[in-house]
């Protein structure tokens, strides 16, 4: 197997990273489905696009598709453990945009719409980015 494929798919991590990856993936898939489909009380693409425009992320529709798609598909990728590192990279970038465009001015705590939750999720995505998908993953099965 090529070194690049082994680097992307391989993982020395155990079951703990598998648990973290699945829970973080569920959160992202749910948030992405709010943005894309309006599920779970979300605004769907139209509402998300309008909100993105209102905070200066333009064009709003493109930003909504990119953010929602990254969250939904990246979340699904984390849940099943397929291409977890590339998914974690995209999700980490999305979180950095959210932190610095929406939450940073509100301080740390969620009660004030701060970046606390996004920072915790960023910790999870960076852990997957560094360690890989963990013991129970499609990535690991393909890399071995």
Q: What confidence score (pLDDT) does residue 13 get?
A: 80
DSSP structural state of residue 35: H
Question: pLDDT digit string (tens) for 87-143?
Answer: 999 999 999 999 999 999 999 999 999 999 999 999 999 999 999 999 999 998 888
**What is the value of pTM for the model shown?**
0.92
Distance from C-alpha of 19 to C-alpha of 49, rounded to nearest angstrom: 32
DSSP output for 60-103: HHHHHHHHHHHHHHHHHHHHHTSSHHHHHHHHHHHHHHHIIIII
Distance from C-alpha of 61 to C-alpha of 121, rounded to nearest angstrom: 24
Domain residue ranges in the chain? 8-140
Question: pLDDT digit string (tens) for 3-51?
Answer: 887 778 888 788 999 999 999 999 999 999 999 999 999 999 999 999 9
Whether residue 1 is predicted with pLDDT greater than 80 in this model: the reply is no
**Tokens coding 136:** 């129970």
Q: What confidence score (pLDDT) does residue 124 get?
A: 98
Question: pLDDT digit string (tens) for 54-91?
Answer: 999 999 999 999 999 999 999 999 999 999 999 999 99
């Amino acid at each position: 197997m090529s070194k690049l494929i082994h680097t992307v798919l391989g993982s020395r991590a155990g079951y703990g990273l598998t648990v973290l990856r699945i829970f973080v993936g569920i959160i992202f898939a749910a948030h992405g489905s709010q943005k894309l489909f309006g599920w779970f009380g979300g605004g769907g693409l139209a509402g998300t696009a309008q909100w993105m425009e209102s905070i200066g992320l333009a064009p709003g529709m493109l930003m909504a598709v990119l953010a929602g798609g990254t969250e939904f598909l990246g979340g699904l990728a984390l849940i099943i453990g397929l291409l977890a590192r590339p998914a974690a990279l995209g999700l980490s970038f999305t979180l950095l945009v959210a932190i610095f465009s929406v939450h940073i001015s509100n301080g740390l705590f969620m009660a004030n719409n701060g970046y606390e939750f996004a920072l915790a999720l960023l910790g999870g995505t960076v852990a997957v980015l560094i360690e890989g998908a963990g013991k129970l993953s499609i990535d690991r099965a393909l890399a071995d």
